[in-house]
Structure 1
Amino acid sequence: MKKIQPTLLASAILLAYAPAFAAPAPDLPPDADQTVNNGKIQQVVVTANPLRSSEGDQILAPAKVLAGDELRDKVGSSLGETLQNELGVSASAFGAGASRPIIRGMEGSRVKMLENGMATSDVSGLSNDHAVASEGAVARQIEILRGPAALLYGSGAIGGLVNVVNERIPTALEDKPTGQVETRYSTVDNGRNVSGSLDGAAGHVAMHIDGNWRDTNDYKIPGSRLLNDPSSGGGRLPDSDTSERSIGAGASYVRDWGYVGVSANHLSNNYGIPSEEGSRIDQRQNRYDLDSLVHAPLNGFETARFKAGFTDYRHAELGEDLQPEVIFSNRSFESRLELTHKPLSGFHGTFGVQTENTHFSALSAAGGPDTVPVTHSTSGAAFLVEETHVGPVAVNAGLRYENVRREPVGNVERSFNLGSGSVGALWPFLRGYSAGATLSYAQRAPSTDELYSGGPHDATLTFDTGDANLKKEISRNIELSVQKTSGLLRWKANLFRNNVSDFIYGHITGVELDEDGNPAAGNGFRQRLFQQAPAHIQGVEAELTWNQTGMGWNGRLFADGSRGKLDIGENLPLQPADRVGASLGYRQADWRAGLSWTHARGQDRLAAFESTPTPGYNLVDANLSYTQKLEKMDLTWFLLAKNLLNKDIRLSTSLLKDISPLPGRNLAFGVRAHF
């Protein structure tokens, strides 16, 4: 694999530093922690940060928060689709129904998925064909945390975390009922989507309800289905349809001392897998949560927060005859206690404990070998994060200790002691300018499938074989950043490198097996063995923005790229392509419009078992909306255009890149009522 391309690195650095030599921007009050919703500027708080800082205050973890109009413009049928154009984020793109975020080249169990600060407890981290069991259409905001602070949520967050915030358990009393309802139609897949939420209060009881209904047909593709094969046919991509339903409700008792609340949610998701064989996944999840917060619980403490959640998850992988072939099941109970202390000798921080108890299995429904046996896993952890100042320098440090135990039926039990630590500093070397550095050390236990897999996985056409003797993964990370945080013109640039000892990956051997694990040359499952080797991932990110929350014109330029390879010289599989992009927007009174362009370079840095380079592409999106006052309601009419140039786009991070392009030109229009 080549080193980071000089052109990309140079352009990123020039893009980051050029504004420092330009004419000075007006010195305005900082507003990096604001977003625009229906033309109104609102405060943004990163709820996944233990100290609940604003987006612009992050030291340990560079954060991005999608909320308001920006979130509504980008929301798609999956979290991967919603977030795939954010800085440092790409998507696994396993059809319209299953696309998971990939952060800085790390995917699967290294990127933790949260809902309201608690694990989604699905099985999306095991394979790219598994959808994340959290719905973005009813989210109030979606938070991306990359870096050390994400480790406080578990050893699986080496790459970062994504937190979907829907406020299903309300934390404040509304003076009057408030809510939002949206309906939209998309042309590329005949998609129909209705979503909404409602909040109210009766006395000291706050109440919330939300729901989503989505149906899409197979989506249109711009050219042929198979890469470089015009004879493979076009039109619509088979098995790319989706059908999703979700409903959730919650209530809280709210007083001056804090609140305590509960919620329940049901999700039903049935979607196609556009692989060569063609299959479907029928997904179900019931989720129950408790959340409580007490102000000044003890002398010297600001807050105490206790959260608990139980999740009953199941999905069936259906064959061409729509009969179950493998059934995945995960029942999980998680609890979390956090105590935030008042400033003490210059330190302000949070410490707590977290537990998780899961029963997971992936059992054959057709009489063959089980993909993963029934496995009982338990974990217990303690964590601490502190902030202080040394002169003008803000310092943040965190520690986490965790024990993970896996007890499979019919295999070797394993126990892992995991320690993680991080320290970061932010130095405001000039007014409105700052430089930062973070160092972190993290350990991750092998996941259940990496240890104990031993059967076919139909959706990916692999016969997976785990290794019960795998060691824990150890990651050593460094990140350097510089940014301008005030004025109309702002920018930031990040450089990072992760060195990972005993990196766990699935190696495709080239051997083909039948569903019982016997040789079947020519028409079988690809053998995939979970192995370990030292690896490293390094990259660069840069972003420049102009007037992001104000009226009038606004703009953005960005560039990102990463390289991942084994230390023996082989590339890591499914690595993201280098990207540059620009956007231009206009906001005035009740009108809002925008146009964006993203260019991804061709990706030819292939793993040993990958054979086809991914061509580059240009993606052009646009949006237009108008908000009108209708008595006590804001009514927003919107038009969204995605892949406006109708380009054949294939993501290098997708297992299906050779046979399943992304959708062609799509016009989505609808109306959103906010009251």
Structure 2
Amino acid sequence: MHVQRTILATAVLAALAPLSFAQTTTKQQQPISTVVVTASPFAAAEGDQILTPAKVLSGDELRAKLGSSLGDTLSSELGVSASAFGAGASRPIIRGLEGNRVKVLENGMSVSDLSGLSNDHAVTGESATARQIEILRGPAALLYGSGAIGGLVNVVNERIPTELHEKPTGVAETRYSSVDHGKAVSFSGDAAAGQVALHVDGSGNDSGDYHVPDGPDGDTVLNSALRQHTLGAGASYIGERGFFGASVSSLKKLYGIPGGEGARIDMEQTRYDIDGQLDQPMPGFDKLRFKAGHTDYGHVELNAEGGPETIFSNRSTETRLELTHKPIAGWDGSFGVQTEHTRFSGLSADSGESATVPVTVSDTYAAFLVEQRQVGSARVNAGVRLESVKREPEGGMPGRSFDLLSYSAGAVWPVAQDYSVGVTASVAQRAPGTDELYSGGPHESTLTYDIGNPNFKKETSRNLELSFRKSTGMLRWQANLFENRVRDFIYGEVNDTLLDDEGMPGDELRERIFRQADATIRGAEAEISYNQHPGSQGLSLRAFGDLSRGSLDDAGSLPLQPAKRVGFEAGYKHGALRGGVSVLRALKQERLASFETTPTPGYTQLDANLSYTQHLRNADLTWFIIGKNLLNEEIRVSTSVLKDIAPLAGRNITVGVRAAF
């Protein structure tokens, strides 16, 4: 990739040159902000994101909602559900859109796993060591990929430090969960040596099969155990005008596939990243930011005897160069370029030949621009992204190229003190994924025989959103209405035809054919919160409701649609004591695709948490207990392909302790 090497060399030299002559400054350690959205092009606060509706999970809220997967952690957020493929694999679903339509980032760079390929593939973004997790939609998503029609999730662990600490700081946590006899640990630490900032983090999780309420299939979801550990380290050189750093991390995970006849997935990923920022790089510009990452991902699908069936691999190299300019005619914003080179393969362990999807090399080149300005009392912003995607499969399949144009514009007006209304319109195009184009074989973990179509067109989504918000004061609220019309929407239709591994009539695998049709997704979200003393002690309350409905034009509902939900949360903090309770009610979901047969019953999920912090000489020790599904309900979620096989975990009590210094 000559272009990637040129960008890499240029940016590294540009970043290192001024830093080598800069005077360093040692900053006091600052607490992790719970409101600043790092993935926003304007580094705006969460409450200012009416044009790019956002949620930031951090601090005590993140620790209390932490689950065994990213989807589980975010599943009670406004407009967010989860694919719930057992304890080991659960991906966020935003407004009824899943897979490659929801982009998952780590520190602003793609996780480059294969979780968008199939629900049984786990997300490699790790919640246990995250300092905050951001959910973002709207124009800001154009910075990271045209395919993010649903939105994006950014897991921030600050593995490459951006500031110097006067003394070492860190946090370590251990927890035990009753429902699966799970034992989990995590830690992170930061220190400085002169002008060099250092970071290390890691986590481990060892859980057995989880328990569910008694039913006809027993009280345990067989083959739902998981074992995982991660380790990462980073360092950066920090000067007055910026920083330049690098990091390396590894993840290993082994987890079962419920209902997959004892199948398991053995996953491994090694990731290398560099990140640099130069302030005031040249006249007219505030900031130059360069990022590059290389990911070596692989997983093996194992049968019940532990033998390998299919070996998946995805090697990816991504670069980003972004410039933030000073105001021009009242406009301020960012523009840049992005490249990505990936080599995907899914090979038969027996023959070494291509299995479900052929070996495919994909190259992506993109340029983007996001701007905002004040026009009278209104704040407007707009973004555009040009992208070229090329896929070249091996084995005689036809290569495909796609030219994508995505753009967005919106405005927000104050209608009274502390009250505002906003409207956003966007068009986003997505290139069909490798699996959607070239699948032609068995997928053992999902028990399907997948068939793609190399002649698919690109998807084009047209979205309109109306938002209302009160974002200051003790009482705050927001409401969003949206409609998303998608031309040439790609989905997998599972029929009753049974095939064997060779695609011949059999009794093992259900045929899944990828198809294209126009679709419409409509929905609404509302949330109201009360904080007696925002960011401090006292009582906090939150109530929310969300719904979305996706349908194929004149052909019934989209598959795996989320249920209508309402929820309520109450929290109280007094001194060292903190507690909370939440209730989530999901209604029965009967809007089925033409090939779906089972409606999903409603459920009520009751959760609670309590913690107490001891202030010791050099550390804070926090003891906590978290209860989930305290009513021990049988919870089946409509967005899971395993809803008829594997309900969510039953009553779970988690106890643990966290030390921060």
Match of 1:627 among 613, 616, 640: 613
- Name the CA distance, whole Å, in 2 between partners of 1:173 and 1:379: 35
Query: Match of 1:370?
Result: 355
Match of 1:476 among 438, 462, 467: 462
1:107-506 map, 5 Å: 107-224=98-215, 230=216, 232=217, 234-367=218-351, 370-410=355-395, 411-506=397-492
1:575-614 map, 5 Å: 575-614=561-600
The amino acid across from 1:250 in the alignment is G
TM-score by length of 2: 0.94
The amino acid across from 1:623 in the alignment is N
Query: Match of 2:8?
Result: none
1:496 positional shift: 0.3
The amino acid across from 1:280 in the alignment is R
1:344 positional shift: 1.6
Match of 1:667 among 632, 635, 653: 653
Secondary structure of the structure 1 residue equivalent to 2:595:
coil
- Name the CA distance, whole Å, in 1 between partners of 2:33 and 2:616: 21
The amino acid across from 1:112 in the alignment is K
- Name the CA distance, whole Å, in 2 between partners of 1:526 and 1:369: 20
The amino acid across from 2:137 in the alignment is R
The amino acid across from 1:221 in the alignment is V
Query: Match of 2:544?
Result: 558
- Name the CA distance, whole Å, in 2 between partners of 1:420 and 1:217: 45
1:211 touches 1:246 (CA, 8 Å); kept in 2?
yes
- Name the CA distance, whole Å, in 2 between partners of 1:305 and 1:360: 28
1:59 touches 1:395 (CA, 8 Å); kept in 2?
no
| CA distance 1:628–1:94, change in 2 (3 Å) | same
- Name the CA distance, whole Å, in 1 between partners of 2:589 and 2:415: 38
- Name the CA distance, whole Å, in 2 between partners of 1:125 and 1:155: 15
Query: Match of 1:30?
Result: none
User: How many residues were matched structurally?
Assistant: 627
1:60 positional shift: 2.8
Secondary structure of the structure 1 residue equivalent to 2:89:
coil
Secondary structure of the structure 1 residue equivalent to 2:359:
strand
The amino acid across from 1:595 in the alignment is V
Identity %: 61
- Name the CA distance, whole Å, in 2 between partners of 1:556 and 1:44: 17
Secondary structure of the structure 2 residue equivalent to 1:372:
coil
1:276 positional shift: 4.6
2:34 touches 2:57 (CA, 8 Å); kept in 1?
no
RCO higher in 1 or 2 (8 Å CA, sep ≥ 6)? 1
2:34 touches 2:58 (CA, 8 Å); kept in 1?
no
Secondary structure of the structure 1 residue equivalent to 2:596:
coil
1:369 positional shift: 6.1
The amino acid across from 2:623 in the alignment is W
Instruction: Point out where structure 1 has 5 or more consecutive residues left out of the alignment.
Output: 1-39, 225-229
1:59 positional shift: 4.0
Q: C-alpha deviations, 1:370-404, integer Å up to 9, x for none?
A: 11111000000000000101101000100000000
1:43 positional shift: 5.2
- Name the CA distance, whole Å, in 1 between partners of 2:374 and 2:560: 41
Secondary structure of the structure 1 residue equivalent to 2:39:
coil
1:442 touches 1:475 (CA, 8 Å); kept in 2?
yes
- Name the CA distance, whole Å, in 2 between partners of 1:43 and 1:88: 20
2:147 touches 2:428 (CA, 8 Å); kept in 1?
no
Deviates more, 1:185-194 or 1:549-558: 549-558
Q: C-alpha deviations, 1:483-520, integer Å up to 9, x for none?
A: 11111001000000000000000111321110001111
- Name the CA distance, whole Å, in 2 between partners of 1:533 and 1:205: 54
Match of 1:513 among 494, 499, 511: 499
1:276 touches 1:659 (CA, 8 Å); kept in 2?
no
1:41 positional shift: 8.9
- Name the CA distance, whole Å, in 2 between partners of 1:62 and 1:191: 35
2:50 touches 2:467 (CA, 8 Å); kept in 1?
no
- Name the CA distance, whole Å, in 2 between partners of 1:369 and 1:152: 34
- Name the CA distance, whole Å, in 1 between partners of 2:324 and 2:186: 36
- Name the CA distance, whole Å, in 1 between partners of 2:306 and 2:162: 43
- Name the CA distance, whole Å, in 1 between partners of 2:43 and 2:261: 46
1:211 touches 1:247 (CA, 8 Å); kept in 2?
yes
1:41-52 map, 5 Å: 42=33, 44-52=35-43
Q: C-alpha deviations, 1:146-199, integer Å up to 9, x for none?
A: 223213211221110000000000000011000000000000000000100010
1:463 touches 1:515 (CA, 8 Å); kept in 2?
yes
1:96 touches 1:242 (CA, 8 Å); kept in 2?
yes
The amino acid across from 1:215 in the alignment is D
1:134 positional shift: 1.5
- Name the CA distance, whole Å, in 2 between partners of 1:262 and 1:97: 29
Secondary structure of the structure 2 residue equivalent to 1:155:
coil
Deviates more, 1:289-298 or 1:564-573: 564-573
1:574 touches 1:654 (CA, 8 Å); kept in 2?
yes
- Name the CA distance, whole Å, in 1 between partners of 2:110 and 2:33: 27
Q: C-alpha deviations, 1:105-152, integer Å up to 9, x for none?
A: 000010001000000000000100000012100000000012232132
Q: C-alpha deviations, 1:538-592, integer Å up to 9, x for none?
A: 0000000000533211100100000001002311000000000111111111110
- Name the CA distance, whole Å, in 2 between partners of 1:219 and 1:59: 40
Query: Match of 1:638?
Result: 624
Q: C-alpha deviations, 1:441-490, integer Å up to 9, x for none?
A: 01000000000011100110000011000000000000001011111001
- Name the CA distance, whole Å, in 2 between partners of 1:146 and 1:543: 17
Q: C-alpha deviations, 1:306-358, integer Å up to 9, x for none?
A: 00000000000101111111111000000000000011211111000000000
Match of 1:98 among 76, 86, 89: 89
Query: Match of 1:530?
Result: 514
Match of 2:47 among 56, 67, 84: 56
- Name the CA distance, whole Å, in 2 between partners of 1:563 and 1:627: 43
Secondary structure of the structure 2 residue equivalent to 1:82:
helix
1:42 positional shift: 4.2
TM-score by length of 1: 0.92
2:260 touches 2:444 (CA, 8 Å); kept in 1?
no
Secondary structure of the structure 1 residue equivalent to 2:445:
coil
2:476 touches 2:529 (CA, 8 Å); kept in 1?
yes
1:278 positional shift: 2.5
- Name the CA distance, whole Å, in 2 between partners of 1:477 and 1:494: 13
- Name the CA distance, whole Å, in 1 between partners of 2:549 and 2:219: 35
The amino acid across from 2:652 in the alignment is N
- Name the CA distance, whole Å, in 2 between partners of 1:164 and 1:269: 18
The amino acid across from 2:414 in the alignment is P
1:222 touches 1:648 (CA, 8 Å); kept in 2?
yes
- Name the CA distance, whole Å, in 2 between partners of 1:276 and 1:608: 24
Q: C-alpha deviations, 1:12-37, integer Å up to 9, x for none?
A: xxxxxxxxxxxxxxxxxxxxxxxxxx
The amino acid across from 1:587 in the alignment is K
The amino acid across from 1:427 in the alignment is W
Deviates more, 1:104-113 or 1:273-282: 273-282
- Name the CA distance, whole Å, in 2 between partners of 1:354 and 1:334: 7
